[in-house]
A and B are shown apart, each in its own frame.
Chain A
Amino acid sequence: SQELEQSPQSLIVQEGKNLTINCTSSKTLYGLYWYKQKYGEGLIFLMMLQKGGEEKSHEKITAKLDEKKQQSSLHITASQPSHAGIYLCGAVSSSGSARQLTFGSGTQLTVLP
């Protein structure tokens, strides 16, 4: 089965700093989702990437899927306390099948004011 490894597991940054979270897959990615979770709450969809080399941005968050489609990165520019939470990547391992949706173990982000 597919495995997703996220790094780092936790991250503490000062407000205003940039940061990057990585998600590496053991298999080719057919769809990669980024979600954000606040402690004890549900997951909020951020972005979905499907094509190798694809890059999407929303406000200060940018996500990329590398050309080989085995790694994705999430970059936050000028971080704010509102960015704090757990970031999870989720992946579809075979084309069109949500049956194979797998999640990484998450990256805990703390932003210090």
Chain B
Amino acid sequence: EAQVTQNPRYLITVTGKKLTVTCSQNMNHEYMSWYRQDPGLGLRQIYYSMNVEVTDKGDVPEGYKVSRKEKRNFPLILESPSPNQTSLYFCASSLREGNIQYFGAGTRLSVL
């Protein structure tokens, strides 16, 4: 089944403790992206990747890192999480830039 898989689905952590949210797609998509969703603010793009080893900042990249060493994986790294990063995070992929994006089920993160 074609899908975008995020792990974990739920995560509670404390300020400053490094964490990684994984994202994997099995559709051989070139384009991958991370978003965060907050009440009243909609979805905002954090980082995106056009292809392997090609990443760039979205609208709200501060406090986040990403890597794209393999085509299927696009992990989101929070080196030192802070409470303002408490949010619902979505990974998405598309065949290429500009094509329909397919979303993972989301990761709900709480930073205490």
Contacts and interface: CB of A to CB of B under 8 A. Distances in A.
Report if A and B associate in a common complex. Answer: yes
Interface of A: 1, 4, 31, 33, 35, 40-45, 48, 88, 90, 92, 96-99, 101, 103-106
A41 B42 contact: no
Nearest to A89: B42
A101 B103 CA distance: 14
A5 B31 CA distance: 26
B97 A99 contact: yes
Contact of A42 (B48, B97, B103): B103
Contacts of A99: 48, 56, 58, 97
29 contacts: A4-B42, A33-B101, A40-B106, A41-B105, A41-B106, A42-B4, A42-B90, A42-B103, A42-B104, A43-B90, A45-B102, A48-B100, A88-B42, A88-B43, A90-B43, A92-B98, A96-B97, A97-B97, A98-B31, A98-B94, A98-B101, A99-B48, A101-B33, A103-B35, A103-B43, A103-B44, A105-B40, A105-B41, A106-B42
Contacts of B43: 88, 90, 103
B7 interface: no
A99 B33 CA distance: 9
A16 to B, nearest CB: 29
A23 B94 CA distance: 23
B42 A98 contact: no
Nearest to B57: A99
